[in-house]
Structure 1
Amino acid sequence: MFVKICGATTAQEVRAVAEAGADLIGLWHGVPGGHANLPAGRLAGLAAEARATGRLRSVLVTFGSDAAALARTAAGAGTDWIQLHGYQRPALVRALRAELPEWVRIVKVLHVRDGSCPEASLIAAYERAGTDLFLLDAATPDGRVGSTGHTLDDRTVAALADRMTRSFLLAGGLRHANRDRFGATLEHPGFLGIDVDSAARGDAGLLDGARTADLVRAWKTP
């Protein structure tokens, strides 16, 4: 199981997350108004910090929709994965796949709002376009996406996963104490791991090693 911690803005956070046992670090770029949005230079610096840990893979998390610009940014930063948040179309995935080296993984986020996923009918198209894996996340009733703290229903997740031929990560209000709410998800053959933001943060709002370690222990140890 992978544990991805999202939204680092400092080198100290990256190192703390690595020491706590996480596997992936999410770095935001092209997330207008996002609390952890990074300019390209800072993105590259933190991706280098992740490589230096010898453990973490870095994930470029973006709302961007310009394939050429995203490919240049990923290449310049040396990120391992690109996570497409928002409602980008399969055509963007196809264009991005053509621009990227094969080893860079493309993650497409699927958003679930009130038990329904507006991108569900596009899952097969995303796969044909070159999506390597999906991430299932909760949207709020008013349409906000990303780091909302809202939790998905286990049966909804499993039903969506049954429509995929790719593996998936789970996000949305995950904490060290609510693993047992996702029995069907945990047993699904496509389940790859979790993506957490808010629950990994300390009182100062920064990613915290102790809270990350709690998440790693809770989710990786049945």
Structure 2
Amino acid sequence: MFVKICGATTEREVRAVAEAGADLVGLWHGVPGGRADLSAQRLARLAAEARATGRLRSVLVTFGSQAQTLARTAADSGIDWIQLHGYQRPALVRALRARLPARVRLVKVLHVRGTSCPEASLIKAYERAGTDLFLLDAATADGRVGSTAHPLDDRTAAGLAQSMTRPFLLAGGLRPDNRHRFGLVLAHPRFRGIDVDSAARGGTGLVDGARTADVVRAWRAP
């Protein structure tokens, strides 16, 4: 199971994620107004810090929609994955896949509001365009997406996964104490891991190593 911790902004946080046993660190860039949004220079620096840990893969988390710009950012920073948040179209995935080296994995977020997903009808198109993984995340009733701390409904998430042929990650309000609520997702053959933000943070608002380790232990438990 992959464990991804999202929204690191400092080298210390990146190291804490690695030491806690997680696999992926999410680095925000092109998230206007986002509390963890990084400049291109900071993105490259933290991606380098992730590589230096010897275990972490870096994930560019972005609302960006310009393939050429995103491909250049990926090349300049050396990130390993790109996670497309927001409602980008399959055409962007196709254009981006054509510009990226094969080693860079493309993740498309699917936003679930209640029991519905506005992108559900596009899943096959995303797959044909070159999506490597999906990430299922909650959108709030007022339209907010990304790091909302709102959990998904297990049955809704598992049902959405049935329409995919690609693996998927689960996000949305995941904590060490609510793993038991996602029995259907955990049993799904294409489930590959989790994406956590709020539950990994301490009182300062920064990613905390002990809290991250709690998440890793709880979700990797038999």
Q: Which residue identity does 2:129 align to in structure 1? A: A
Equivalent in the alignment of 2:65: 65
**What residue identity is the alignment partner of 1:192?**
R
Structure 2 SS opposite 1:65:
coil
TM-score, with structure 2 as normaliser? 1.00
Q: Are residues 1:175 and 2:141 paired?
A: no
Segments of 4+ moved more than 6 angstroms: none
Normalised TM-score (structure 1): 1.00
CA RMSD of aligned residues (A): 0.3
Alignment length (residue pairs): 222
Identity %: 81
The CA deviation at 1:221 is 1.1
| Deviations 1:117-176, CA, capped at 9 Å, x for gaps | 000000000000000000000000000000001000000010000000000000000000
Aligned position for 2:18: 18
Structure 1 stretches lacking a partner, 5+ long? none
| 2:189 alignment counterpart | 189
> Equivalent residues in 2 for 1:37-186 (5 A)?
37-186=37-186
Paired with 2:35 and 2:190, the residues of 1 have a C-alpha distance of: 31
Cα displacement string for residues 13-71 of structure 1 (whole angstroms, at most 9, x for unaligned residues):
00011000000000000000001000000000000000000000000000000000000
Corresponding letter in the other structure for 1:48:
A
For 2:102 and 2:17, the matched residues in 1 are separated by 27
Shift of 1:114: 1.6
Look up the SS of the partner of 1:207 in the other structure: coil
The 2-side partners of 1:162 and 1:25 are apart by 27
The DSSP-based 3-state class of the residue aligned with 1:182 is helix
User: SS of the counterpart of 2:21?
Assistant: coil
Q: Structure 2: which amino acid aligns with 1:172?
A: G
Name the CA distance, whole Å, in 2 between partners of 1:204 and 1:58.
23
Give distance in 1, aligned partners of 2:103 and 2:205: 33
1:69 match: secondary structure: helix
Alpha-carbon distance in 1 for matches of 2:164, 2:103: 21
Q: 1:23, 1:220 → 2: CA distance?
A: 12
Distance 1:49 1:212 in 2: 18
One-letter amino acid matched to 2:151: T
- Per-residue deviation, 1:108: 0.1
